[in-house]
Structure 1
Amino acid sequence: MPTEITSTSSPRIAIVTGGSRGIGRNTVLSLARRGVDSIFTYHSNRAEAGHVVAAVQETGRRAIALRLDTGDVSSFDPFVQDVQQALASLRAKRFDYLVNNAGTSLHNAFDQTTEDELDHVYRIHFKGVFFLTQKLLPFINDNGRIVNISSGLARVTLPGSSAYASMKGAVEVLTRYMAKELGARWIAVNTVAPGAVATDFSGGMVRDNPEVNKRVADMTALGRVGEPEDIGPMIAALLSDDNRWINGQRIEVSGGMVL
């Protein structure tokens, strides 16, 4: 059984963006199993978010779902107000962990990618992470933790992923700067870079396309594609006090993909 992440006074609280599905959903559930309550965001599927809340409640923990478009910076101030209300309902004023997970994919050749497509992935994967974290900083406890989700594509190249992967590379650089500048508050900031994972991301390409699934498995040392259950528990463990001295690092969780 995992060790419980608790404080002497009250349970820890995490904010997870994109927590209604895939890796985000599994992260919320993995944190719940470790005694952590969550405020998580969803973009449009309120029903699926409700299923996650119910699943968390079955573990004996609490979760609150809030709608957010992480690519719309103008929505961040109202969202912060929603977060404050959610914290109050959890009998808290601050939270402990932030997981910047929400994202969308883009598959297009470099010479075919449009300005609108590049701007879209920029707003979600870099600008949104930058300014949402900035807005939430006054409410994260000292000694807190931040995890920014990157991708194995920031290390290896796959044609058609130049825009998406470049934004993830930018997030990895941002992570190191955040770790340095937030160190005075003892806030550790790290990047987790999943490999190819069988979710509905990219239209379920890795999960539902047998040819893609086999290709990924063949290039992975452990011989299969990743599952959300391979990633969520690792993120929850990284947030725990057991890993308090890991800071400013990129940790790839890919089963040994393209070694």
Structure 2
Amino acid sequence: MTAASDNNTTRIALITGASRGLGRNSALKLAEQGIDLIISYKSNEAEAQEVARSAQALGRRALALQLDVADSRSFAAFAERVKTALAGTWQREQFDYLVNNAGSGVHASFAETTEAQFDLLVNVHLKSTFFLTQALLPLIKDGGRILNTSSGLARFSFAGYAAYAAMKGGVEVLTRYMAKELGARGIAVNTIAPGAIETDFGGGTVRDNAQMNAQIAGVTAMGRVGLPDDIGSAVAALLSEGNGWMTGQRIEVSGGMML
């Protein structure tokens, strides 16, 4: 097989916010499946480059590019950097999979949530999923896939997450519209909705607070809190080659929380 044909058959995934947490785990699970990577990071270049090196150690090509998903004005320039990276590293014009993973959390009661907190969540979760995907559309291969990220909190409710969950509800509705409109290009669009996971997200509360951890485990059918591997493995499964006929769906990966 020639290098050119190998470049054309290799699958490439772009994952936002992949320097740590669920994005990092998802990136490495995809690399284990033979998928090359473009990952984005907001500020921690060292961690992002370490993820890229880990993917390269698995035999994959991987690049890390800076992106602040809260700044929609930067999306056009980011798309140009992706285009340049595709041409330079893969001799290709398009990639296969987009995973809109980057996110941040705010824990505040409905009564105390500030407009600034609300606006930041809009920009990071909802506006970025809409407009970053829009900017990258010419670079996504026909027959490719987009995986957006929601949360179990869009289905069940815990005090302190009203604004965050509202954004995720918006992402779920947006996913269905994206699936409807991009179906003509053969692009499948779905949402993954993780439950409570032991990461540093939100200050690591689920991971580090033993009482909260036990409380969540008690309302979860599988009897424990989720781990990053649970989500990374699910992302890899959803982007596996046999899943192209599923679109417009919300897939919750929570171990059966609040059933």
Q: What is the CA–CA distance in structure 2 between the aligned matches of 1:231 and 1:111, rounded to whole Å?
A: 32
Q: What is the CA–CA distance in structure 2 between the aligned matches of 1:178 and 1:109, rounded to whole Å?
A: 31
> How far does residue 77 in structure 1 lie from its aligned partner after superposition?
1.3
Structure-1 residue corresponding to 2:81: 82
Q: What is the CA–CA distance in structure 2 between the aligned matches of 1:49 and 1:204, rounded to whole Å?
A: 20
Structure-2 residue corresponding to 1:46: 45
User: Is this contact kept in 1: 2:143–2:187, CA < 8 A?
Assistant: yes
Structure-2 residue corresponding to 1:118: 118
Q: What is the CA–CA distance in structure 2 between the aligned matches of 1:75 and 1:29, rounded to whole Å?
A: 26
Q: What is the CA–CA distance in structure 2 between the aligned matches of 1:188 and 1:45, rounded to whole Å?
A: 31
> Residue 251 of structure 1 aligns to a residue in which SS?
strand
Say yes or no: does 1:60 pair with 2:59: yes
> Residue 9 of structure 2 aligns to a residue in which SS?
coil
Say yes or no: does 1:177 pair with 2:186: no
CA change 1:46–1:226 in 2 (3 A) is: same
> How far does residue 240 in structure 1 lie from its aligned partner after superposition?
1.8
1:26-45: CA deviations, max 9, x gaps?
Answer: 11111111111010111111
User: Is this contact kept in 1: 2:52–2:64, CA < 8 A?
Assistant: yes
Amino acid at match of 1:80: A
The farther-off stretch of 81-90 and 193-202 is 81-90
Instruction: Kindly report the root-mean-square deviation, in angstroms, between the aligned alpha carbons of the 2 structures.
Output: 1.3
Matched pairs, number: 254
Give ranges in structure 2 of 5+ residues lacking alignment.
none
Amino acid at match of 1:233: S
Structure-1 residue corresponding to 2:33: 34
Amino acid at match of 1:34: Q
Aligned residues with identical type, % of pairs: 58
The farther-off stretch of 167-176 and 227-236 is 227-236
Q: What is the CA–CA distance in structure 1 between the aligned matches of 2:66 and 2:8, rounded to whole Å?
A: 29
> Residue 98 of structure 1 aligns to a residue in which SS?
strand
> How far does residue 239 in structure 1 lie from its aligned partner after superposition?
1.2
Amino acid at match of 1:16: I
Structure-2 residue corresponding to 1:3: none
User: Is this contact kept in 1: 2:8–2:92, CA < 8 A?
Assistant: no
- Structure 1 segments, 4+ long, off by >2 Å, are 6-10
1:93-136: CA deviations, max 9, x gaps?
Answer: 10000000000001101011111110000000000110000000
> How far does residue 7 in structure 1 lie from its aligned partner after superposition?
8.1
Give ranges in structure 1 of 5+ residues lacking alignment.
1-5
Q: What is the CA–CA distance in structure 1 between the aligned matches of 2:113 and 2:21, rounded to whole Å?
A: 26
TM-score w.r.t. the length of structure 2 is 0.96
Structure-2 residue corresponding to 1:241: 241
Instruction: Give matches, 1:210-221, under 5 Å.
Output: 210-221=210-221
> How far does residue 57 in structure 1 lie from its aligned partner after superposition?
0.9
The farther-off stretch of 207-216 and 133-142 is 207-216
> Residue 182 of structure 1 aligns to a residue in which SS?
helix
